[in-house]
Amino acid sequence: MTAHDIRVRGSWTSPTMNRRLLLVSNSTLHGSGYLDHCQEHIARFLGRNVKRVLFVPYALHDRDAYAETARKKLKTLGYELDSIHDASDPIDAVNKAEAIFIGGGNTFRLLKCLYDNHLLKEIRRRVLEDGIPYMGSSAGTNVATVSISTTNDMPIVFPPSFMAIGLVPFNINPHFLDADPNSRHMGETREQRISQYHEEPDTPSVLGLCEGSMLLVEGRQVTLLGSTRARLFARGQPAVEYEPGSDLSFLLMEP
């Protein structure tokens, strides 16, 4: 997949009115269990029409254990879970899915597996054209964007490209952290790393999602949900902070 598969000059070309995304910064919030902090949002997002969710555990090595963790949690919310790694034909599994959930872990491993199984265009088509719900957490949120260039992960494997599924025309940095003014750590802050990314030409905006925050995308509407804020970085512009409940629909107008 190339950048031109995602965007063309001056416009966002996908059939966006059917798009429904829940992009979560983190799967586990300090002091709570797996997906506990966002379970009410998940239930509202998936609703009553979805009965089964297709889970993509490619970001972790132990896929069986990961799928079982997700299965137990979604079961408490009233949903059955099928894991794509158990399917004999992953593309067919995507084509038959009622909803897709891509979990967190290592973003490079995840994207490589999506490329290896020829799933990027299929997931993109099902979400943007057929309108099935897409939920991502951490790495699963990263791959929903333009590219994984703003992930926090180490490149433990090498995908064919950093270009991702492209369900939105901007990038996200999950687990975003502010710099601690009392820290003696001398490495770059998260904000400095994103600033370095924007030193390159033609780089999209980056939304730093603090842990506990998530984006709800419905058609052309984008809303910041959760208990924490987000910070938006645009090339050549000062960073702007947003509180939960903020309307971020303008992000879908990226050139």
Residue 5 pLDDT class (50, 70, 90 cuts): very low
pLDDT digits (tens, 9 = 90+) for 92-122: 999 999 999 999 999 999 999 999 999 999 9
Task: For residue 208, list its beta bridge partners.
Answer: 173, 231
User: Do 70 and 99 touch, CB atoms closer than 8 A?
Assistant: no
Every domain of the chain and the residues it spans: 3-7+17-253
Average pLDDT over residues 12-41: 85
Under CATH, what is the fold of the domain 3-7+17-253?
Rossmann fold (3.40.50)
Catalytic residue list: 138, 153, 175
The neighbour count for residue 117, using CB atoms within 10 Å, is 19
Rounded percentage of the chain residues whose pLDDT exceeds 70: 89
User: Is the confidence at residue 15, as pLDDT, over 60?
Assistant: no
Average pLDDT over residues 173-185: 69
Per-residue pLDDT at 182: 67
In whole angstroms, how far apart are CA 244 and each of 214, 222, 234? 9, 12, 20
Instruction: Tell me the C-alpha distance between 181 and 50, whole Å.
Output: 46
Share in percent of the chain as helix, strand, coil (round to 5): 30, 25, 45
pLDDT digits (tens, 9 = 90+) for 29-64: 877 899 999 999 999 999 999 999 999 999 999 999
DSSP state of 84: G
Structure tokens at 168: 């939105």
